[in-house]
């Protein structure tokens, strides 16, 4: 029987980056097919192509044997393809059933037929084997329940091929079990499911596994015969650390940052950081590896004062600074290189010199000493010379310090952020995804600067989805998975062990 879906020789480029490199994917009718890979492997890109959000540069799509061109999600929906992404497109104050039938509302005599709506929605839910409160408003539902509404919505629009992008990122383990039950009953009715994940144990629950790495397909396996070790090897095989860093031997050192039993919830109320404790010592770089969505974002936000802590303490040089504002964190010597350099780390529509003084705009030398306390007046001369000095020493390629930050390339923008954050001898540096999306030369530059801080005896917490970067820089390595962190001391850093833990493979025990 011909596969219900065939993506043949798909190539998708973003500038110089080849996100999908000649990928051929076949999905059979009635199977759960997982796409397994770490961040940047190309899974989401491929599915965005399937859902009509992006056009492939090369390659063809065959749906039910027919060649198809999908120019928009509307086309995909018409071809009975549905997607449940991580950002739900639900209307919060409306009820679940209203959201589900939004695309085709049953009506009688110009009024909404509530009975028919209820009937259809309940029938749909029943056929999948689960129960939802159809009259409940979305904002009252738990995230797991909201996800089910999204699934029902896709089914209501006639989806026979359902794409789920990292669906368990927002679910409890109980809800994950239930999700798989639902998916099974859907496939029993002939629906086909594509399941994007980075977690081994989930991939093993599906029917077939396609493993992506660096935009290419590296392996296709039957889930029944796959093993943990086999999958991990396929996901990470051949990856060599770009820079082998010799971790500094442990000696008596003072902890700069102490995190104790930290609990942090996200804005949906899900606990993303579960009872985490670790130290970052002076003169070291502690790297936290892991795939996105396991609580790293919330951890960084909690430490840097951008998110409330639900439990536990954070100490900086012995001072309890839990729930300190970003201003206080900075005053105590914390620097933060944020994950989103453009959305949070800089002002697109302000000049580079303005960007560089953020955080110290009210302090000398940027203000006149005269009337300092009462009414800080900016002194443009030192601002200018500071900006020029920093731009030079951090190699920011720009036409001038008066250029708007939005005209900087990604690499130069990140160098500008570094120039600002590292300017004042911070005691603790929190670096989140510092080299994401940067060219090799800039990556090297950033890594050198971070190493420099270590030489100076500063403490750095490096959070990254790029294992190469972690291994190349860190003295000790931790892995964050599902809200918990496991730390490897410097002499026990084992690449394959870390890779296994990043995808939930456990600490070395074979589970199959």
Partner 1 sequence: MRFRLSPRLALYISKILPLLAVLGIAFGVTSILIVISGFSPGEVFGGIFSGGFGSVYRFGQTLNQATPLLLCALGLILVFRAGIWNIGAEGQLYMGAVGALIAGHFIPSIPGPLQLLLMGILAFIFGAAWGVIPGYLRARFNTNEIITSLLMVFIAIWFVAYLIKFPWRSTTAAGFPVSEAVWPTAQLPIIPELGAHAGILIALGLAVVVWFILQKSAYGYRIKATGVNPDTALYGGISVRKIIVTSMLLSGGLAGLAGMAQVAGIFHVLADNISVSYGFLGIVVAFIGRLHPLGAVITAIFLGGLLAGSHYVQASLGIDVTVVHVLVATIMLALVIQPFIEQRLENLFKLH
Partner 2 sequence: MDFFPLMVPVLAATLRMSFALLVPSLGEAISERSGVYNVGVEGYMLMGAISSYLVAVTTGNLWLGIVAGMLGGAALSLVHAFLSVTLKTNQIISGIAIWLFSMGFSSFIFRTVGITDAIEGFAPIHIPVLSDLPGIGPIIFHQNVLFYISILLVVVFAIIMFRTRFGLIVRATGENPLAVDMAGYNVSLIRYVSVLICGAMSGLGGSYLPLAVMYRFNENMTAFRGFMALAIVIFGRWNPWGILGGSLLFAFVDALQIRLQAVGVPIPFPLLLMLPYVVTIVVLVGVAAVIKRVAIPRKLAIPYIKGEA
Residue 401: closest CA among 341, 347, 350:
350
Cis peptide before 258 (omega within 30 of 0): no
- β-strands 476-481, 66-68 pairing: unpaired
Sole binder of partner 2 in the list 25, 47, 81, 90 (CB under 8 A): 90
- Using the rule CB under 8 A, is 92 a contact of partner 1? no
Binder among 15, 93, 238, 269 for partner 2 (CB under 8 A): 93
Q: Residue 137: CA atoms inside 13 Å, Cβ hemisphere, count?
A: 6
Does position 115 bind partner 2 by CB under 8 A? Answer: no
434 makes contact with partner 1 (CB under 8 A): no
Chosen from partner 1, partner 2, none, partner binding at 414 (C-beta under 5 to 8 Å by type)? none
- Rank residues 112 and 350 by Cβ distance to partner 2 and give the closer one: 112
346 binding partner 1? (CB under 8 A): yes
Three-state DSSP at 171 gives coil
Binding flag, residue 267, partner 2 (CB under 8 A)? no
Residues in the chain: 512
Q: Are 438 and 466 in contact (CB under 8 A)?
A: no
Least spacing, CB of residue 71 vs partner 2, in Å? 13
What are the residues whose beta carbons fall under 8 Å from the beta carbon of 399, sequence distance 6 or more? none
Dihedral sign computed on CA atoms, order 185, 188, 192, 195: positive
- Binding piece for partner 1, criterion CB under 8 A, among 255-263, 375-383, 422-430, 451-459: 375-383
Nearest-approach distance from CB 98 to partner 2, in angstroms: 6
Q: Lay out the site mask for partner 1 across 458-487 (x = CB under 8 A, - = otherwise).
A: ------------------------------
102 near partner 2 (CB under 8 A) = yes
- 376, 410, 437, 506: residue in contact with partner 1 (rule CB under 8 A): 376
DSSP state of 335: E
String of contacts with partner 2 for each residue 356-385, x by CB under 8 A: ------------------------------
The H or E element spanning position 261 is strand 255-265
Cβ closest to partner 2, residue 105 vs residue 371: 105
Q: Is 110 in the site for partner 2 (CB under 8 A)?
A: yes
Q: Which does 90 bind (CB under 5 to 8 A by kind): partner 2, partner 1, none?
A: partner 2
Contact between 431 and 461 under an 8 Å Cβ cutoff? The reply is: yes
For residue 323, state whether it binds partner 1 (rule: CB under 8 A): no
Whole-angstrom distance, CA of residue 331 vs CA of residue 210: 49
How far is Cα 231 from Cα 409, in angstroms, rounded to an integer?
37
**Would you count residue 134 as binding partner 1 (CB under 8 A)?**
no
Q: Is 121 helix (H, G, I), strand (E, B) or coil?
A: helix
Task: Figure out which of the listed residues 111, 123, 249, 374 binds partner 2, where binding follows CB under 8 A.
Answer: 111
In terms of CB distance, is 35 or 154 closer to partner 2?
Answer: 154
Alpha-carbon distances, residue 108 vs 121, 157, 253 (angstroms): 17, 20, 75
By CB under 8 A, the residues from 407 to 426 that bind partner 1 are 407
Under rule CB under 8 A, how many of the chain's residues touch partner 2? 19
Determine if 403 is a binding residue for partner 1 (CB under 8 A): no
E strands, 282-339, are 285-289, 311-316, 319-320, 334-337
Contact with partner 2 (CB under 8 A) among 9, 55, 71, 92: 92
Q: Exactly one of 9, 55, 89, 494 binds partner 2 (CB under 8 A); which one?
A: 89
Which among partner 2, partner 1, none contacts residue 105 (Cβ within 5 to 8 A by kind)? Answer: partner 2
Residue with tokens 């009462």: 374
Task: Out of 9, 261, 325, 393, name the contact with partner 1 by CB under 8 A.
Answer: 325
**CB 53 → partner 2: shortest distance, Å?**
9
Strand partners, 281: 255
Q: Does 354 bind partner 1 (CB under 8 A)?
A: yes
Query: Which residues within the stretch 17-76 sit at the binding site for partner 2 (CB under 8 A)?
Result: 73-74
Q: Kindly write down the DSSP assignment for every residue of 433-484, as one continuous string.
A: STTTT--HHHHHHHHHHHHHHHHTT-EEEEE-S-HHHHHHH-SEEEEEETTE
Task: Note whether 112 binds partner 2 by CB under 8 A.
Answer: yes
Q: Is 62 in the site for partner 1 (CB under 8 A)?
A: no
Q: Is 135 in the site for partner 2 (CB under 8 A)?
A: no
Q: How far apart are the C-alpha atoms of 449 and 442, rounded to whole Å? A: 11
Hey, which residues between 248 and 307 contact partner 1 (CB under 8 A)?
304, 306
Instruction: Name which of 73 and 376 has its Cβ closer to partner 2.
Output: 73
Q: Distances in Å between the alpha carbon of 445 and those of 247, 395, 421, 466?
A: 19, 9, 15, 16
Helix or strand holding residue 163 (H, E): strand 161-165
Residue from 11, 68, 94, 270 in contact with partner 2 (CB under 8 A)? 94
Q: Is 361 in the site for partner 1 (CB under 8 A)?
A: yes
Quote the CA–CA distance of 202 and 92 in Å, as a whole number.
Answer: 29
67 counts as binding partner 1 under rule CB under 8 A: no
Please tell me whether residue 344 binds partner 1 under the rule CB under 8 A: yes
Stretch that binds partner 1, among 83-91, 209-217, 356-364, 482-490 (CB under 8 A): 356-364
Q: How many CB atoms are closer than 10 A to CB 480?
A: 23
Cβ–Cβ under 8 Å, residues 182 and 148: yes
CB of residue 74 vs partner 2: minimum separation in angstroms? Answer: 6
Residues facing residue 404 across a β-bridge? 351
> Applying CB under 8 A, which residues contact partner 2?
73-74, 77, 87, 89-94, 98-99, 102-103, 105, 107, 110-112
């Amino acid at each position: 029987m011909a596969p219900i879906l065939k993506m043949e020789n798909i190539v998708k480029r973003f500038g110089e980056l080849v996100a999908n490199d000649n990928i051929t994917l076949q999905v059979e009718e009635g199977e759960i097919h997982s796409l397994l890979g770490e961040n940047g492997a190309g899974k989401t890109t491929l599915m965005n192509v399937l859902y009509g959000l992006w056009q492939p540069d090369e390659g063809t799509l065959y749906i039910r044997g027919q060649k198809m061109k999908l120019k928009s999600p509307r086309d995909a929906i018409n071809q009975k393809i549905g997607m449940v992404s991580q950002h739900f497109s639900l209307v919060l104050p409306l009820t679940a059933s209203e959201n589900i039938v939004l695309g085709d509302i049953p009506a009688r005599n110009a009024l909404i037929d509530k009975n028919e709506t209820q009937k259809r929605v309940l029938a749909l839910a029943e056929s999948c084997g689960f129960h939802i409160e159809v009259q409940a408003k979305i904002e009252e539902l738990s995230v797991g329940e909201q996800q089910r509404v999204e699934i029902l919505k896709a089914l209501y629009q006639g989806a026979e091929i359902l794409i789920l992008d990292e669906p368990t990122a927002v679910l409890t383990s109980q809800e994950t079990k239930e999700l798989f039950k639902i998916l099974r009953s859907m496939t029993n009715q002939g629906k086909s499911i594509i399941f994007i994940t980075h977690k081994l144990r989930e991939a093993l629950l599906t029917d077939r596994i396609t493993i992506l790495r660096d935009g290419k397909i590296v392996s296709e396996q039957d889930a029944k015969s796959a093993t943990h070790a086999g999958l991990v090897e396929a996901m990470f095989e051949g990856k060599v650390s770009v820079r082998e860093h010799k971790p500094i031997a442990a000696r008596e050192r003072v902890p700069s940052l102490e995190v104790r039993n930290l609990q942090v919830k996200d804005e949906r109320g899900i606990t993303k950081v579960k009872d985490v404790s670790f130290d970052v010592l002076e003169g070291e770089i502690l790297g936290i590896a892991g795939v996105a969505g396991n609580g790293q974002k919330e951890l960084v936000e909690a430490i840097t004062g951008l998110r409330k802590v639900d439990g536990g303490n954070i100490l900086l040089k012995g001072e309890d600074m839990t729930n300190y504002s970003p201003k206080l964190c900075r005053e105590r010597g914390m620097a933060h290189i944020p994950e989103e350099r453009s959305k949070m780390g800089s002002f697109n529509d302000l000049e580079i010199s303005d960007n560089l003084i953020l955080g110290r705009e009210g302090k000398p030398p940027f203000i006149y000493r005269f009337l300092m306390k009462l009414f800080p007046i900016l002194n443009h001369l030192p601002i200018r010379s500071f900006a020029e000095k920093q731009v030079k020493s951090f190699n920011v390629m720009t036409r001038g310090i008066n250029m708007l930050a939005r005209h900087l390339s990604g690499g130069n923008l990140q160098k500008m952020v570094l120039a600002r954050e590292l300017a004042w001898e911070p005691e603790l540096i929190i670096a989140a995804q510092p080299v994401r999306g940067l060219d090799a030369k800039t990556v090297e530059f950033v890594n050198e600067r971070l190493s420099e801080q270590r030489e100076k005896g500063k403490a750095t917490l490096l959070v990254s989805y790029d294992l190469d970067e972690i291994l190349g820089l860190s003295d000790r390595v931790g892995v964050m998975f599902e809200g918990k962190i496991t730390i490897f001391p410097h002499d026990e850093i084992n690449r394959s062990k870390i890779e296994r833990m990043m995808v939930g493979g456990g600490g070395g025990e074979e589970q199959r």
